[in-house]
Structure 1
Amino acid sequence: MCLVFVCGEEEKVVSRQPAPGACPYCGGIILAMDVERGWNFCFLPLYFKTKRRYCCSICNRSLLLH
C-alpha cells in the first residue's frame, strides 16, 4: 500500500507601497508589502493569512518594527 500526501505552501505579494523612513543599514527606501500565505492539501486551499512585511528596496534586508 502506498500513501502519498500532497501538501504545499504558497506565498504571494498582494501589494507594495513605500513606507515612511529610511533603511538603517544603507539609507534606502523602505517598502511595506502585504504578503498572502496559503497552505494547500491536495490542491485544496486550507488556510490563508495576510501579513505586512517591511524591507529595503536597495539592500533587500527584512526590517522589523520594535
Structure 2
Amino acid sequence: MVCFCFLVDQTKKVKRSKPVAGSCSRCGGGASVADMITQTRFCFVPFYWKSWKAIMCTFCGAMLKSYR
C-alpha cells in the first residue's frame, strides 16, 4: 500500500495600503484599507490566487472588514 502526502498552504499578503478615517474596535489604533492577495500553493507550486480589499488595524493587524 502506498500513501502520498502533499503539502498545501495558503498565504495572505498586503500589496498596498492607505490610511482611512476611523479606529480599531479592539485596540483603538488607526485603520487602513489594504489591497490583499491570497495565494494557495500545492507542493510549493501556486495554483490559485485571489485579490481583494480589507480594512485592517495598523497597530494590532486585526482584519476589521473584508470586501471579497
TM superposition score normalised by structure 2: 0.70
Between the aligned residues of both structures, percent identity stands at: 25
**What is the CA–CA distance in structure 2 between the aligned matches of 1:11 and 1:59, rounded to whole Å?**
16
Report runs of 4+ in structure 1 exceeding 6 Å deviation.
none
RMSD, aligned α-carbons: 2.1
Unmatched tracts of structure 2, length 5 or more: none
Q: How many residues align?
A: 63
Alpha carbons of structure 1 residues 10 and 58: separation in structure 2 relative to 1, 3 Å: closer
TM superposition score normalised by structure 1: 0.71
Counterparts in 2 of 1:1-66, with a 5 A limit? 1-19=2-20, 21-23=21-23, 25=25, 26=28, 28-58=29-59, 60-64=61-65
Unmatched tracts of structure 1, length 5 or more: none
